[in-house]
Amino acid sequence: MTTHPAPTATVVSFENVSKSYGDVRAVADLSLTLNPGETVALLGPNGAGKSTTLDLLLGLRPADTGTVSVFGTTPTDAIAAGRVGAMLQSGGLMEEVTVREIVTLACDLHRRPHPVNEVLSRAGIDQIADRKVNKLSGGQEQRVRFALATAGDNDLIVLDEPTTGMDVTARQAFWATMREQADRGRTVLFATHYLEEADAIADRVLVLHKGRLLADGTASEIKAKAGARRIAFDLEGVIDEPALRELPFLTSFDVSARTVRIQSTDADATVHAIYSLGLYPRNLEVAGLGLEQAFVAITEAEEAKAA
Ligand SMILES: Nc1ncnc2c1ncn2[C@@H]1O[C@H](COP(=O)(O)OP(=O)(O)OP(=O)(O)O)[C@@H](O)[C@H]1O
């Protein structure tokens, strides 16, 4: 009887990982774990450390301190075993070859390759398979990178801002394919600036800021962590702005024409106080923050703490 090694429960593990470039601390004491079948968004503003984190995960850069492991081994060994596919932002494609040639090469090099035609059609580049790579548009190049990342059967797919430059159709097709991969138990990790993508696609969102992990949870948990809720209402007559600004628990305030828009960390108390002022708010709406607003709130709170 053949014995198989027990499946490793943890796909990726970072333990107290730090990485600096000279004086710039790109990743600071980062600890995280990725589990099988998760689709995880790595979200953060420019310079947050997303690409560096992915480089460390792929063994493209060594950590200064801490341990990175992928499927219980080093990133290099996990990649050599054909378990990881990656689509990075940079990295030139070979120019004087056709799309089919470069995809065929990627399939030939993979331990568990998919058929070339399947890879081409999944990435939506079967129609341009005979075109030279240096004649492609930015969005088409991204599709080729996507094809290279999915040339074989990978247990972990790592994507650095994968949909940059893709049109809406390409974006939708791309995420449909990624969802299929996740449904088949693959782990997908992607870095993004697009909060709506993180919200729509990811089971889990990691918020990175100045190399540190600020939040780790579902999109709704991240929104809840930001604490505030949005309140909007219309008022008739003269609007007493100073009185409204004194409402309890406000974190933001805006009046335009007859509409008051505020954010509050205790919406029930704020709404109660509005009525206590003797006002009659019309079209009253109370809603949670969107991920974008939550993200801004969390990073601003962090900046304020650091100041
Ligand atoms: N090779 C390098 N040499 C020096 N500094 C670097 C290098 N690569 C990145 N940095 C710096 O490290 C920090 C993190 O950069 P990184 O590219 O990881 O962030 P990011 O979140 O991927 O940003 P973006 O969203 O803009 O791609 C930044 O301050 C950046 O300027």
Tens digit of each residue's pLDDT (9 = 90 or more) over 7-40: 547 999 999 999 999 999 999 999 999 999 999 9
Q: What is the pLDDT of residue 3?
A: 44
Q: Which residue has the higher pLDDT, 237 or 298?
A: 237
As a CATH number, domain 12-223 is 3.40.50.300
> Does the beta carbon of 26 sit less than 6 angstroms from any atom of ligand 1?
yes
**What ipTM does the predicted assembly reach?**
0.96
- Which residue has its alpha carbon closest to ligand 1 atom 26? 46
Residue found under tokens 């790579």: 133
For the chain, how far is it from start to end, CA to CA, in angstroms? 63
Q: What is the mean pLDDT of the chain?
A: 88
Strand order of the sheet with strand 187-192?
Answer: 84-87, 156-160, 187-192, 39-43, 204-209, 212-217
pLDDT digit string, tens, across residues 242-272: 999 999 999 889 999 899 999 888 899 999 9
Mean pLDDT, range 110-122, rounded to an integer: 92
Cα dist from 212 to 10, 24, 27, 137, 190, whole Å: 21, 13, 6, 35, 17
CA of 217 to the centre of ligand 1 (A): 24
Q: Where are the domains of the chain?
A: 12-223, 228-288
Residue 1 pLDDT: 42
Instruction: Tell me, in angstroms, the distance from the centre of ligand 1 to residue 51's CA.
Output: 7
- The pLDDT value recorded for residue 184 is 86
The residue with greater pLDDT, 222 or 23, is 23
What local confidence, expressed as pLDDT, does residue 115 receive?
A: 96
Please give the Cα distance from 229 to 223 (Å, whole number): 9
For residue 47, report the distance from its CA to the centre of ligand 1, in Å.
5
Share of the chain above pLDDT 70, in %: 97
* Residue minimizing CA distance to atom 18 of ligand 1: 49
Q: Are 200 and 192 in contact (CB under 8 A)?
A: no
pLDDT single digits (tens) 145-189: 989 988 998 999 999 988 888 888 888 888 888 888 888 889 999
Gap between the Cα atoms of 188 and 155, Å rounded: 9
Highest average pLDDT, of 27-36, 94-103, 217-226, comes from 27-36
As given in the structure block, the two tokens for residue 245 are 């600004």
Check residue 7 and give its pLDDT: 52
Mean pLDDT in residue range 228-252: 91
Q: Which CATH number fits domain 228-288: 3.90.120.10, 3.40.50.700, 1.10.3720.10, 3.30.70.100?
A: 3.30.70.100
Quote the ligand 1 centre to 50 CA distance (angstroms): 8
Confirm or reject: Cβ of 51 under 6 Å from ligand 1. Answer: yes
What's this model's pTM, rounded to 2 decimal places?
0.79
